[in-house]
Amino acid sequence: MTESASLYRDDGSLWLEGVALETLAERFGTPLYVYSRAIIEDRYRSFAHAFAGSPGSLSCYAVKANSTLAVLGVLARLGAGFDIVSGGELQRVLKAGGEASRVVFSGVGKSAGDIAMALDAGILCFNIESAAELERIAAIAGARGRVAPISVRVNPDVDAQSHPYISTGLRENKFGVDMAEARALYRRAATLGSVRVSGIDCHIGSQITSLAPFVDAMARVLALVDELADAGIVLEHIDAGGGLGVVYRDETPPATAEYARAVIAQLGGRKLRLLTEPGRAIVAPAGVLLTRVEYLKRNGERGFAVVDAGMNDLLRPALYGAWMGIEPVRPRTGALETWDIVGPVCESADFLGKERLMTLAEGDLLAVRGAGAYSYAMSSNYNSRCRAAEVMVDGDAAFLVRERECFADLVRGERLLPAGG
């Protein structure tokens, strides 16, 4: 099923798969995140199929994009791999039915506890991001009588041409190590009995809409692979990372198949297992945030539609200046006006969209498209706001996959000081 076939209008109202979004808002309230199982499955299968020509390839879903158990469970049933950045994400993957042997562990700040947990679970590989991390993993593995499979995350100094906050492949970024340090790390790892050199990793950023950065990065990393092989350090896999962009407005990212062809072509005749780490490209198009207009107001000539979803529910516009499509679930007739769609949070940065042309009335239901990635996963309780509920649509059925938080959830674990203290 295609994305356009899953999110559509019928009788003037917006539907996701076989369910009217209006009915979901009435049943579960707002703000409300809604995901399409069909789109998630379709997007993951597009990666699995596109990379099928590379023997042993594995698409490891980037859990940070959306770590909801129901989403992970859908992907686990498809045989997905997983890219994690914390012990909590590992526990989520395992709870959702994912296999530890298909997990790669990225991230610059792995704690000793997280490393031990991953070793005991038997993950596929640690993506090493510093010399200090290599030594810590070697020590922990040695103390536990284990051998840790590792790859080095190389920073190839390639500009992903995306927002600076989601660019990770330049020297100025905190991620990975440069080529010179990578050589030294591989030489050091080869001397350690408690680690096994398995591969090499590279991830240059997110929301990339051109093939050139991917091709450039792969070429630089593969040159290092060949150099290591000449020195007797033969790698088993290359992790090309993720970062393939999606359409939020008018972007023109490469198709998954086109991206895969470009990456596979770089391998030439090298006998390397190919791993990728797609996240946003799988789940962003599958998600919609439903929010209701509370008030309409004007400050001079500026029109504000105050909705019940805020930056604590959807941070991307405030954090990145990200543009996300917003439209009435059931458009009304009348004069079009320009509105800033803003939330109730006490910050001037609390907006979902600015200068949107639409006809609105208080009580109208709005849908924010492309909200499947880096949306609920980045939500918070700022202003003591309860986080939204989440629903998964599967055909004409809808399942509540996360309950809306209540005040008791907000204060769970908190304690007042004793009287007189």
Report, in angstroms and rounded to the nearest whole number, the Rg of the chain calculated over CA atoms: 23
Task: Name the residues annotated as catalytic.
Answer: 346
H or E stretch at 343: none
Q: Which residues contact 283 (CB under 8 A, 6 or more apart)?
A: 35, 40, 43, 65, 66, 71, 372, 373
**Tokens describing residue 173:** 């970024």
H or E stretch at 78: none
Phi, psi at residue 48, to the nearest 5°? -60, -45
Scanning the structure block, which residue is given the tokens 């051998």? 147
**Exposed/middle/buried for 268, CB within 10 Å: 0-12, 13-18, 19+?**
exposed
Please spell the DSSP secondary structure of 319-333, one letter per residue: HH-----EEESS---
CA distance linking residue 239 with residue 276, whole number of Å: 6
Please spell the DSSP secondary structure of 198-242, one letter per residue: EEEE---BSSB--SHHHHHHHHHHHHHHHHHHHTT---SEEE---
**Tokens describing residue 60:** 């490891």
Contact 90, 84 (CB under 8 A): yes
Strand partners, 101: none
> Helix count (H) and strand count (E) of the chain?
13, 20
**Tokens describing residue 356:** 């949107």
CA distance linking residue 11 with residue 19, whole number of Å: 13
